[in-house]
């Protein structure tokens, strides 16, 4: 392997790193898995990636397992950003933001959302699909995972916002994909090259299996499992859009280098109505009323998560600055004091926004009065502006980080962390899920996007122990039929990777799974892009690479 890596250094302008400390750092993402790469590469530009792909094609007969895995900030929770071969760090040099406006962002794939947010805010805009981890993640990761977040209630996943992607494919060339009409499609399919073959094969597959594909789409507000075949071809509009396939592909079809994505309006003012529930059963009555008021966001977290947020709020001091942290800490503790050490079972956070404080406040009061009218025994509290809302949003956004601070040998183990159903099924669905969690003695927290029916259920366990690992597969087997009963998905926004890839046939059926494989093999016939993820994932492989260090 060393001679090959030495040769790579002569053809790439960017860095080729093989230090043990570097390889260890990049052997983990936010999942329960670990894979140590042979090298970490930081390409300078698209030409570097083109040369890398061509190099792999030329050397695969010598090194059959040679592959490349793109990585942004490593916040992926499914194991999609780790590799036992060559890992491409896109966050080093692919960080240029080309342009921004009130409705469109054009950027390289490695740009951080932390840098993008203030730029869009200067145009009174934001990303509608920015995930809760927006303080850490990259735009390439958002697109590759088909991510979503707090604003997905209104704006959906990244596939709703994507306008164009540039991708280095298996032919060693960069290609650009976006929506085209039928006449443009005919021109593309007539091309006598690799790209023309892609268009012909994918169009044939989606046209011949049109009804199967449409019917296989989860009956949910969001989904990031499989490949987005259901949004590639629309017979009614005549629009064909292969950018949809790369949105949610996790780097398994090619390396995304450049992105054009829609920006959405950002309101000037926002505020929260906090709703405290004593039982999950109350959700069946509360959710329809809340959603009828068309909130901007509708989040929730259980008492365990909220308690952890209070306990570990001190860890946000550096991020917020001492002055702001002190202000938020005082506000948070004053709220908690009202419950006299007995926090409710569930905290719902319903956000409204507008361009005036009064309009925002009136919206909040309107929901509060509506809830009171139905005599629900719930306590509510208004946090009528951004400052008052801030500590609660910080707890919600840092929830997984707080979970990782758990002690006593138990750690956040995301493997059932992204299940999604229609909101109307929430109460019934969560009660069934809780029975399974209790059956397998999986102490877990519940948080997520309640307005979307998207729940981040994070068990706390030591997956290094065989008896604990043995719980994962049977628990998943019992959960899949429940998800299917409600027309749901196992991944609303966290994708497949190593943890859910093996379950694609169970969720979508063999016919649809074969179509997913067809997509993979059309774009990547030699399996050089991010193997052992999505359609190429194996439960045995995944479970044999459980992470051994957690701090």
* Lowest mean per-residue pLDDT among 166-180, 181-195, 351-365, 385-399: 385-399
Contacts of 157 (CB under 8 A, 6+ apart): 129, 146, 147, 148, 222, 223, 224, 247, 248, 492, 493
- Of 378, 381, 406, 377, nearest to 391 (Cα)? 381
What number of other Cβ atoms are within 10 A of residue 271's Cβ?
Answer: 24
- Residue 550's pLDDT band, with cuts at 50, 70 and 90, is low
CA 117 – CA 269 distance, rounded (Å): 16
On whether the CB atoms of residues 502 and 539 are closer than 8 A, the answer is: yes
Mean pLDDT, range 301-307, rounded to an integer = 85
Task: Give the single-character DSSP code of 269.
Answer: E
What number of other Cβ atoms are within 10 A of residue 164's Cβ?
Answer: 16
Which residue's entry shows tokens 């059956």?
439
What number of other Cβ atoms are within 10 A of residue 319's Cβ?
Answer: 11
- Of 128, 203, 116, nearest to 160 (Cα)? 128
Q: Which helix (H) or strand (E) holds 184?
A: helix 182-189
Tell me which of 551 and 105 has the higher pLDDT.
105
The confidence score (pLDDT) of residue 410 equals 66
Which residue's entry shows tokens 């039928």?
182
pLDDT in tens, 255-282: 999 999 999 999 999 999 999 998 888 8
Largest CA distance in the chain: 74
Percentage of the residues of the chain whose pLDDT score is greater than 70: 97
pLDDT in tens, 367-409: 999 999 876 678 888 887 888 888 888 888 777 676 666 545 5
The confidence score (pLDDT) of residue 315 equals 80
E strands of 18-161, at which residues?
39-42, 68-71, 86-89, 97-100, 104-108, 125-126
For CA atoms 141, 144, 148, 152, give the dihedral sign: positive
CA 121 – CA 382 distance, rounded (Å): 25
The confidence score (pLDDT) of residue 305 equals 84
CA 174 – CA 195 distance, rounded (Å): 10
- Residue 248's pLDDT band, with cuts at 50, 70 and 90, is very high
Most confident of 300-309, 375-384, 385-394, 436-445: 436-445
Mean pLDDT, range 430-434, rounded to an integer = 92
pLDDT in tens, 464-499: 888 988 999 999 999 999 999 999 999 999 999 999
User: What long-range pairs does 188-196 form, CB within 8 A, spacing at least 24?
Assistant: 194/169, 194/170, 195/169, 195/171
Here the tokens at position 502 are 């093996």
The confidence score (pLDDT) of residue 551 equals 47
State residue 210 phi and psi, 5-degree precision.
Answer: -55, -50
- Of 227, 308, 140, nearest to 504 (Cα)? 227
Mean pLDDT, range 419-445, rounded to an integer = 92
On whether the CB atoms of residues 175 and 167 are closer than 8 A, the answer is: yes
- Of 104, 125, 120, 161, nearest to 265 (Cα)? 125
Mean pLDDT, range 426-433, rounded to an integer = 92
CA 197 – CA 172 distance, rounded (Å): 15
Q: Angle 283-292/426-439 helices, nearest 10 degrees? A: 140
CA 79 – CA 91 distance, rounded (Å): 18
Tell me which of 414 and 272 has the higher pLDDT.
272
Architecture of the CATH domain 98-265? 2-Layer Sandwich (3.30)
Mean pLDDT, range 240-261, rounded to an integer = 98
Tell me which of 316 and 417 has the higher pLDDT.
417
State residue 301 phi and psi, 5-degree precision.
Answer: -155, 150
Q: Flag whether pLDDT at 207 surpasses 90.
A: yes
3-state secondary structure of 476: helix
Strands 86-89 and 68-71: parallel
Percentage of the residues of the chain whose pLDDT score is greater than 90: 76
Q: How far is CA 41 from the centre of its chain?
A: 24
CA 359 – CA 348 distance, rounded (Å): 21
At the top level of CATH, the class of 269-403 is alpha beta
pLDDT in tens, 128-179: 999 988 888 999 999 999 999 999 999 999 999 999 999 999 999 999 999 9
pLDDT in tens, 96-121: 999 999 999 999 999 999 999 999 99
Average pLDDT over all residues of the chain: 92
Give me the DSSP letters along 50-118: HHHHHHHHHHTTTSTT--EEEESSS--SSSTT--SSEEEETTTT---EEEE-SSEEEEETT-BHHHHHH
pLDDT in tens, 19-61: 999 999 999 999 999 999 999 999 999 999 999 999 999 999 9
- Of 291, 437, 272, nearest to 364 (Cα)? 272
3-state secondary structure of 47: helix
- Of 398, 355, 399, 362, nearest to 382 (Cα)? 362
* Lowest mean per-residue pLDDT among 83-87, 342-346, 356-360, 530-534: 342-346
3-state secondary structure of 3: helix
Strand partners, 416: 457
Which residue's entry shows tokens 């960069």?
174
Domain boundaries, the chain: 98-265, 269-403, 411-505
Architecture of the CATH domain 411-505? 2-Layer Sandwich (3.30)
Contacts of 205 (CB under 8 A, 6+ apart): 229, 515, 518, 519, 522
- 20 CB-contact burial (10 Å; exposed 0-12 / middle 13-18 / buried 19+): exposed
On whether the CB atoms of residues 67 and 529 are closer than 8 A, the answer is: yes
Q: Is 156 left (phi over 0), alpha (psi -120 to 50) or beta?
A: left
What value, to the nearest 5°, has the Cα angle with vertex 500 and ends 41 and 146? 65
Strands 239-241 and 179-180: antiparallel
CA 329 – CA 392 distance, rounded (Å): 10
Here the tokens at position 127 are 């990303």
Answer whether 98-265 and 269-403 agree in fold: no
- Residue 345's pLDDT band, with cuts at 50, 70 and 90, is confident
């Amino acid at each position: 392997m060393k001679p090959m890596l030495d040769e790579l250094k002569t053809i790439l302008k960017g860095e080729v790193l093989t230090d043990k400390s570097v390889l260890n750092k990049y052997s983990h993402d936010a999942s329960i898995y670990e894979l140590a790469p042979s090298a970490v590469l930081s390409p300078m530009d698209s030409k570097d990636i083109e040369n890398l792909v061509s190099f792999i094609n030329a050397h695969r007969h010598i090194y059959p397992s040679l592959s490349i895995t793109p990585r942004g900030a490593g916040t992926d929770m499914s194991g999609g950003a780790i590799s036992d071969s060559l890992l491409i760090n896109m966050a080093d040099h692919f960080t240029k933001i080309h342009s921004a406006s009130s409705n469109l962002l054009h950027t390289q794939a490695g740009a951080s959302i932390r840098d993008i947010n203030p730029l869009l805010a200067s145009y009174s805009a934001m990303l509608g699909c920015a995930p809760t981890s927006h303080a850490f993640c990259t735009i390439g990761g958002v697109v590759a995972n088909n991510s979503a977040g707090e604003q997905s209630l209104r704006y959906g996943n990244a596939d709703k916002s994507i306008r164009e992607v540039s991708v280095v494919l298996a032919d060693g060339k960069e290609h650009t994909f976006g929506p085209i009409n039928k006449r443009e499609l005919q021109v593309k399919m007539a091309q006598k090259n690799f790209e023309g073959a892609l268009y012909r094969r994918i169009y044939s597959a989606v046209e011949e299996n049109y009804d199967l594909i449409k019917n296989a789409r989860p009956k949910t507000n969001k989904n990031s499992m499989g490949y987005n075949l259901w949004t590639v071809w629309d017979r009614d509009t005549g629009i064909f859009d292969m950018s949809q396939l790369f949105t949610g592909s996790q780097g398994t079809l090619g390396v995304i280098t450049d992105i054009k994505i829609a920006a959405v309006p950002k309101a000037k003012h926002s505020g929260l109505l906090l709703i405290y529930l004593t039982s999950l059963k109350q959700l069946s009555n509360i959710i329809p009323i809340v959603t009828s008021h068309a909130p901007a966001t509708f989040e929730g977290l259980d008492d365990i998560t909220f308690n952890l947020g209070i306990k570990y709020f001190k860890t946000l001091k550096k991020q917020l600055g001492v002055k702001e942290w002190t202000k938020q800490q005082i506000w948070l503790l004053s709220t908690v004091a009202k419950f006299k050490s007995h926090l409710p079972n569930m905290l719902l956070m319903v956000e409204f926004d507008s361009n005036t404080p009064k309009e925002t406040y009136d919206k909040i009061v309107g929901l509060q009065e509506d809830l009171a009218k139905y005599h629900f025994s719930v306590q509510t509290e208004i946090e009528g502006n951004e400052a008052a809302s801030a500590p609660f949003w910080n707890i919600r956004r840092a929830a997984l980080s707080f979970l990782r601070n758990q002690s006593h040998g138990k750690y956040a183990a995301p493997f059932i962390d992204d299940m999604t159903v229609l909101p109307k099924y929430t109460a019934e669905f969560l009660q069934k899920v809780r029975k399974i969690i209790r059956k397998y003695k999986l102490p877990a927290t519940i948080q997520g996007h309640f307005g979307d029916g998207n729940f981040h259920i994070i068990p706390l366990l030591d997956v290094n122990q065989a008896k604990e690992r043995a719980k994962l597969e049977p628990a998943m087997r019992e959960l899949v039929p429940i998800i299917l009963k409600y027309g749901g998905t196992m991944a609303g926004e966290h994708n497949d990777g190593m943890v859910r890839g093996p379950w694609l046939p169970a969720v979508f059926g063999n016919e649809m799974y074969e179509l997913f494989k067809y997509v993979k093999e059309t774009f990547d016939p030699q399996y050089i892009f991010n193997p052992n993820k999505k359609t190429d994932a194996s439960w045995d492989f995944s479970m044999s690479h459980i992470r051994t260090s957690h701090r």
